[in-house]
Amino acid sequence: MASAAPFDPAALRQDFPILQQSVNGAPLVYLDNAATTQKPEVVIQAIANYYRRDNANVHRGAHTLSDRATVAFEAARETVARFINSPRSNQVIWTRGATEAINLVAYSWGHTHLRAGDRILVSYLEHHSNIVPWQLAAAATGAEVVPIPITEAGDIDLQALTGLLDERVKLVAVNHVSNALGTINPVAEISRLAHAAGAKVLVDGAQAIAHMPVDVQSIGCDFYVFSGHKLFGPTGMGVLWGQEALLDTMPPFLGGGEMIETVSFSGSTWNALPFKFEAGTPNIAGAIGMAAAIDYLAGIDIAAAAAHECSLLQQSIDLAGDIDGLRRIGNPAQTVGIFSFVLEGVHPSDLGMLLDEQGIAVRTGHHCTQPLMAHYQVPGTVRASYSLYNTADDVERLFAGIHKAKRLFG
């Protein structure tokens, strides 16, 4: 593999067509990357080329277009497997996103393995998609969802977690990176602690996958999930990675074509991994687009990109010190480039609208983390989330917009 080119965010911006526009009369400043990242031209072209040249269903066709589509589709699975250091590609299950992947595990593994009195530990940092599926599984099986406390800074309290781990705990579900605060969780240590207590571990990697190398073997988790659209790939595409022995014990999540081996009215049998969990026509273009995004990232120095994003966060923290009434929410020990804050006297939604009028896109609200917002006793925050194509000028524009809002509401 060729070495990555020197990291240059201004040059990288040219790879993303959407960033070359003005919004409300001002050049676009896109700071909502934790919600979804923008797509480079190579990803857009990969998807378009599939539809222009190879559009056909996979695995079942007896013609050239189907053969080409199948080769590209399964090559994408191999690309993902290498990207996360999976021992085998059949451990990579295509889903519609991280949310569906978690629901798959909660339903298929949860309904099979959970019993009344069992516990599922879920941290206060979690997105609703890593809380609600476990509540549904608990309601169906008699298990209990127990929250893992966090520190005031926004880190998982490992001492509290250790105290919760006993023979009742069957699964620990945590995110790799918090979408609301940017906290980088010590998922390898959490996996070690959970396994020592006999529990399985699911890691929600949706926010981590675009910011750092992910090695599922080093992490040591049992399940790892992520979405393509937060990895510079298309929406509607995600991955569930699981330990092969565990996936083998789990019944199908959905029934239909592709996931079967035989069907008769006396009963059906299931296909091998990964196809057992991939009923129906898959998102072929989505898989191809995700692989193109991963190939694009292979040409970027990810460590340099992460350092750059953290420098933008530090710039934000420094500039925030000059604004009375601005309070950053959370101060985790390790973090990606997410700046979540409130401004005294200004509702987050009002500030978001004022920033949008200046061409600055941020996220406002509870960020699908209502338990976390309740922990900090705020209804929501304004969240600026940085990516590899953001620049120091973007941060300056953001804070100029905040100063303007403060004057208007002052």
* 1 pLDDT tier (thresholds 50, 70, 90): very low
- Token output for 127: 């997105």
Q: What is the mean pLDDT of residues 87-107?
A: 98
Q: What is the pLDDT of residues 119-161, one digit of tens each?
A: 999 999 999 999 999 999 999 999 999 999 999 999 999 999 9
Q: What is the pLDDT of residues 371-400, one digit of tens each?
A: 999 999 999 999 999 999 999 999 999 999
pLDDT at position 4 is 64
Question: CA–CA separation, 2 vs 95, rounded Å?
Answer: 30
| 91 in Cβ contact with 116 (< 8 Å) | no
| 68 in Cβ contact with 54 (< 8 Å) | yes
Phi-psi region of 224 (alpha: psi -120 to 50; beta: other; left: phi over 0): beta
Catalytic site residue from 137, 368, 373, 384: 368
Q: What is the pLDDT of residues 217-236, one digit of tens each?
A: 999 999 999 999 999 999 99
* 8 pLDDT tier (thresholds 50, 70, 90): very high
Question: CA–CA separation, 341 vs 180, rounded Å?
Answer: 10
Domains of the chain, earliest start first: 9-36+301-409 (3.90.1150.10), 45-298 (3.40.640.10)
> Quick one: what percent of the chain has pLDDT higher than 90?
92
pLDDT at position 269 is 86
Closest to 101 in 3D by CA, of 233, 240, 200, 234: 240
Residues in contact with 266: Cβ distance below 8 Å, sequence separation at least 6, in sequence order: none
368 counts as catalytic:
yes
Q: What is the 3-state secondary structure (H, E, C) of the chain?
A: CCCCECCCHHHHHCCCHHHHCEECCEECEECECCCCCCCCHHHHHHHHHHHHHHCCCCCCCCCHHHHHHHHHHHHHHHHHHHHCCCCCHHHEEEECCHHHHHHHHHHHHHHHHCCCCCEEEEECCCCHHHCHHHHHHHHHHCCEEEEECECCCCCECHHHHHHHCCCCEEEEEEECECCCCCEECCHHHHHHHHHHCCCEEEEECCCCCCCCCCCHHHHCCCEEEEEHHHCCCCCCCEEEEECHHHHHHCCCCCCCCCCEEEEECCEEEECCCCHHHCCCCCCHHHHHHHHHHHHHHHCECHHHHHHHHHHHHHHHHHHHCCCCCEEECCCCCCECCEEEEEECCECHHHHHHHHHCCCEECEEECCCCHHHHHHHCCCCEEEEECCCCCCHHHHHHHHHHHHHHHHHHC
Helix 284-298 to helix 41-49 angle, to the nearest 10 degrees?
150
Q: What is the pLDDT of residues 171-209, one digit of tens each?
A: 999 999 999 999 999 999 999 999 999 999 999 999 999
pTM listed for this prediction: 0.96
pLDDT at position 338 is 98
Question: CA–CA separation, 237 vs 288, rounded Å?
Answer: 10
Average pLDDT for the chain: 96
Q: What is the pLDDT of residues 262-312, one digit of tens each?
A: 888 988 888 899 999 999 999 999 999 999 999 999 999 999 999 999 999
pLDDT at position 3 is 58
Q: What is the pLDDT of residues 14-24, one digit of tens each?
A: 999 999 999 99
Helix 392-409 to helix 348-356 angle, to the nearest 10 degrees?
120
